[in-house]
Amino acid sequence: MLIPYLNLRNLFLNRFFVLVIVIFIFFQPQVGKAMLIASTHERPGPGYYKAVLTRLYTWYNKEYFDFDKRFSSRESKLVHSVIEDIDKTSQYLDPKTGLPRFRLAMDLVGDKVSYGNLWISFPSVPIGLKKHVDEVLKSWKIADIGQIYGIEWSFENDEVSLFSLVKGGLQQDVYKNKKQIESYAWQRLEHVQLEGNEIFALGIQEVWEVKSEKKSRKYIGTDMFPSKEFNEVIKSPLVKISKEFGLRPQFILFQDRDHFRIYYQ
Amino acid sequence: MPHKLLFKTIVILVSFCGISYQFLINRVLIQFSQNEILNQSVTLGFYLLAMGIGAAAADRVFKNKNAQTVYLLEIGISILGMVLVPLIYSLHIFINIFIANKTLGLFYGPQAVFTMQIFTVIVGLITGFELPLLMSIGQNSVRFKASNASILAFSYFGSLAGALYSAGIFLPSLDFLSQGVLIGLMTLLAATLVAVMAIDQIKKIYCLLVLIPIALSSFVIQVTPKLEQLFLKNYYMNMKVFEISPNSFETVLKFFSTVDDVERYMTPYQVVDITPRDFMTRSGKNSNFIFFLNNQVQFGGDEYLRYHETMVHGAINLTGKIPKNVLVLGGGDGLILTELRRVLGVESIIQVELDPHIIELATYHPIFKAINQSVYQDGKAKVYYQDAFSYIRKTQEKFDAVFIDFPFPTSYDLSKLYSVEFYRSLRKVLNDDAYFVFDAPVFDKTEYRPKPKDIFASTLRASGFQNISAFGLAESFYIVSLGKKSLQFDYDRLPPWMSNQTIINLAVLNESLDEAEVSEAYVNSIFKPQKFVFK
């Protein structure tokens, strides 16, 4: 029997499965090329990313979720200093290999969209930035977790996550009310092939396994646009962002909570 | 009218119509390739070949080379002429819906041009029959006595008149379907003159045949608007996005009847199409409207701000100079003027636009009026209707900035506006420290050399310009400054009202421009035009 989620169209049409979709609109040093023209080697001049990210962040705050209202002044400073740092580092990082560092993410669970997710990362933490990171962690009463890699705010769940680099992948520690409630290990799976055939696999960029002591999930990351029947709830903000900035979501993570069959080779 | 004069009039008329059909096919087929050079060469080549074959075969095909044969032939050509454009459109629609949509996406490019040559060949063949038949009549008839040399001479006169009329009157003022009908009626006139000339040689019943093209012309005129709309919708619409399954022609017709019409305007220089709101084009832009010149997309309802804000405010920010005297070349839509009006400090603007109809459209069409904020009605810009090249060669004025908005050079005519001669003339109208901007692709996927950026960089260098930069990630522009300062955006000084799309677009592209191969061989000149290939 052909499994319904072998292609994206079926994945969306089939109501049997509960889906979690996370759509990241993320910015990175190669934002211009990555989002607009895939094959350029351009490194836009100083000030570009600051101007673009500030515009995007301000607009998103106004349209969907006002992070600035929910952030403490320390958190707000941290976000803006990350933007400044992205702008600085973009001048010397290879635009082809730069990592995503600023993500606005929309979560879709069933028919409910949550907009209040922001993820920032700092693969290197220069002194100026470290000061802001330390101050935020201190205000959260979280002890130094070692080599911090990123922070994610999920306001609608009232959670924050700290990401750190550990052996073999990323570790995500989730905090709620300043207490750690969960710890996940993110591991990118290599040599993965879906059961059936490669219809869906064509759009797959990567598959992640996310494990905690209690549970384990798998995510498919893709840049493939879903079918016409793509959930109208999420389509509307995506169209709006596309009209406003000329941007398309760059990465979509799909999760099937019940049955996700992945074979390893 | 003396018989000999009447006979020569028929020869002129027949040749007039023959060359007009060739021009018409050529112009219609340009829509399928945008490559005027390829199109003209191929169409003319096939037409002459078919004429040659027709002339050679005339002896075998026609046993009776008399006036009745010529009369019937002209009636046939008249009918063919009237249905020529509908047939081309119908074949294109058919192939597009039933074949290309499943494979290629759009029936377009050389394959479309070559396929459609079937019509050139048919018209050429039948036209090729005409001259040998007329020569035979000229030699054998006492009444119409004419030497082959004089028939050929009058044929050439007719061709010249046909070429001039086609280029100067038919093509600019009538839509393609009406042109076909008109030329068909002229061919019918030739047939009628043949009947008048030799009524004794033609069976009476055949005289009634003139009613067929007349009735047909009435029918074609009736269905013309619908067929043209069907063609345009099919041409511009991305049917895959709508997931129409074109299983039957009725399905497609039904679907198209629900879509608003595409507006088409013919001017002496270009064909203007405007797709309606919420029209999903093949480029996937779901804009309020999209404006096309000669089937090439110019801008859409969501993107025009990005293009024009980038060009004007981007250039001013890059150079750090607000120009006092500005020259705008092209840009008849008025949107550059709209942006310039927002810049404090600009004292005078001169615009040079070849096509007055575009400015008329920009002045009175509601869509244009809305987006250019009726800029032509305030009378602040001085507008000259003339060729930009001719203007910059003759003017004594000097400018601080020149904004150039020409179509992409798909023909030799347009190519001269990107030539070394053009840029050298432009240099003479620039003040010290002035700059000029033009839109052109920096990125392209083609492996073909020279790429457009190779040609632009080589041509600008050969014109004596050193400070050449490019900017704009999605809408790219070249900026050439006479100043020596290296150009970088000062993002803190960008106007706060600039659209978000524009901000994202504003990046310098010098790394991509540095990859351009600069070579003397790539210099675009009027005397050695380059082929601009862009994907």
Q: Does residue A262 lie in a domain region?
A: no
Most confident option among A36-40, A192-196, A244-248, B88-92: B88-92
Regarding beta strands B399-405 and B430-439, do their DSSP bridges make them parallel or antiparallel, or are they unpaired? parallel
Nearest to B504 among A228, A243, A245 (CB): A245
Q: Does residue B101 lie in a domain region?
A: yes
Residue ranges making up the domain that contains A95: 4-13+20-256
The mean pLDDT value for A208-221 works out to: 82
Of B263, B284, B300, the last residue of a domain is B300
Regarding beta strands A204-211 and A179-189, do their DSSP bridges make them parallel or antiparallel, or are they unpaired? antiparallel
Residues B174 and B251 in one domain: no
**Tell me, what's the pLDDT at B109?**
81
Q: How far B488 CA lies from chain A's nearest CA (Å)? A: 7
Give the span between the Cα atoms of B416 and B460, in whole angstroms: 13
Residues B56 and B167 in one domain: yes
User: Is the confidence at residue A230, as pLDDT, over 80?
Assistant: no
Dig out the tokens for B338 from the structure.
Answer: 């709209």
Q: Does residue B91 lie in a domain region?
A: yes
The 10s digit of each residue's pLDDT in A60-78 is 999 999 999 999 999 999 9
Q: Does residue A264 lie in a domain region?
A: no
- The percentage of residues in chain A with a pLDDT greater than 90, rounded to a whole number, is 20
Residue B11 or A42, more confident:
B11
Residue B413 or A16, more confident:
B413
Q: How far A132 CA lies from chain B's nearest CA (Å)? A: 24
Q: Does residue B230 lie in a domain region?
A: no
For chain A, the maximum distance between any two Cα atoms, rounded to a whole number of angstroms, is 57
- Whether B511 sits inside 8 A of A42 (CB atoms) is yes
| SS3 assignment, position B165 | helix
Of B165, B188, B223, the last residue of a domain is B223
The 10s digit of each residue's pLDDT in A193-202 is 554 433 344 4
Q: Does residue A58 lie in a domain region?
A: yes
CA distances from B460 to B320, B436, B443, B523 (A): 22, 11, 18, 8
CATH number for the domain spanning B194: value is: 1.20.1250
CB A222 within 8 A of CB A252: yes
Q: Residue B263: which residues within 8 A CB-CB, separation 6 or more?
A: B272, B273, B274, B276
Residue ranges making up the domain that contains B19: 3-223
User: Is the confidence at residue A35, as pLDDT, over 60?
Assistant: no
Residues B137 and B116 in one domain: yes
CA distances from A45 to A56, A129, B480 (A): 18, 21, 18
Confirm or reject contact between A36 and chain B (CB < 8 A).
Answer: yes
Dig out the tokens for A185 from the structure.
Answer: 């290990």
Q: Does residue B476 lie in a domain region?
A: yes
**Tell me, what's the pLDDT at A239?**
78
Tell me the ipTM for this assembly: 0.80
DSSP secondary structure code for residue B373 in this structure: T
- Whether A46 sits inside 8 A of B507 (CB atoms) is no
CA distances from B173 to B84, B165, B266, B295 (A): 18, 11, 6, 18
CB B34 within 8 A of CB B181: no
Residues B291 and B318 in one domain: no
Give the span between the Cα atoms of A258 and A20, in whole angstroms: 11
Residues B252 and B169 in one domain: no
Q: Does residue A261 lie in a domain region?
A: no
Q: Does residue B195 lie in a domain region?
A: yes
Bridge partners (DSSP) listed for residue A262? A194
Residues B309 and B293 in one domain: no
Q: Does residue B527 lie in a domain region?
A: no
Give the span between the Cα atoms of A82 and A128, in whole angstroms: 10
Q: How far A50 CA lies from chain B's nearest CA (Å)? A: 9
CB B191 within 8 A of CB B76: no
**Tell me, what's the pLDDT at A262?**
38
Of B300, B323, B339, the last residue of a domain is B300
Give the span between the Cα atoms of A126 and B196, in whole angstroms: 97
Give which of B239, B287, B500 to mutate to test A binding, by max A Cβ within 10 Å: B500
- Whether A35 sits inside 8 A of B491 (CB atoms) is no
The structure's pTM equals 0.81
Q: Does residue B76 lie in a domain region?
A: yes
Give the span between the Cα atoms of B503 and B515, in whole angstroms: 25
Residues B356 and B453 in one domain: yes
Identify all chain B residues contacting A43, using CB atoms and an 8 Å cutoff.
Answer: 511
Regarding beta strands B271-275 and B263-266, do their DSSP bridges make them parallel or antiparallel, or are they unpaired? antiparallel
The 10s digit of each residue's pLDDT in A104-139 is 888 877 777 888 989 888 877 777 788 898 899 888
Collect contacts of B47-51 with beta carbons under 8 A, ≥24 apart: B47/B22, B47/B120, B47/B123, B47/B124, B47/B127, B48/B124, B49/B121, B49/B124, B50/B120, B50/B121, B50/B122, B50/B123, B50/B124, B50/B125, B50/B127, B50/B128, B51/B18, B51/B124, B51/B125, B51/B127, B51/B128
Q: Does residue A62 lie in a domain region?
A: yes
Domain count, chain B: 3
pLDDT along chain B (535 residues), means of 10: 82 93 90 81 93 91 87 94 92 82 70 91 92 88 81 92 83 80 93 89 88 91 86 79 61 81 86 83 66 83 86 96 96 94 94 94 91 88 94 96 92 90 97 95 81 94 95 92 92 92 90 89 93 78
CB A73 within 8 A of CB A193: no
Residues B324 and B295 in one domain: no
CA angle (B512, B514, B518) in 5-degree steps:
120
How many CB atoms lie under 10 A from the CB of residue A116?
A: 19
Confirm or reject contact between B494 and chain A (CB < 8 A).
Answer: yes
- Whether B500 sits inside 8 A of A59 (CB atoms) is yes
Domain count, chain A: 1
Q: Does residue B528 lie in a domain region?
A: no
- Whether B507 sits inside 8 A of A44 (CB atoms) is yes
Residues B183 and B240 in one domain: no
Bridge partners (DSSP) listed for residue B330? B405
**Tell me, what's the pLDDT at A238?**
79
Identify all chain B residues contacting A93, using CB atoms and an 8 Å cutoff.
Answer: none
Residues B204 and B333 in one domain: no
Identify all chain A residues contacting B508, using CB atoms and an 8 Å cutoff.
Answer: 42, 44-45
Identify all chain A residues contacting B515, using CB atoms and an 8 Å cutoff.
Answer: 41
Give the span between the Cα atoms of B216 and B339, in whole angstroms: 50
Identify all chain B residues contacting A61, using CB atoms and an 8 Å cutoff.
Answer: none
Q: How far B325 CA lies from chain A's nearest CA (Å)? A: 29
Residues B142 and B258 in one domain: no
Residues B508 and B479 in one domain: yes
Chain A to chain B Cβ contacts (< 8 Å)? 74
Q: Does residue A265 lie in a domain region?
A: no
Q: Which residue reads 């300062």 in tokens? A: B485
Listed residue (B333, B349, B357) closest to B382, CA to CA: B349
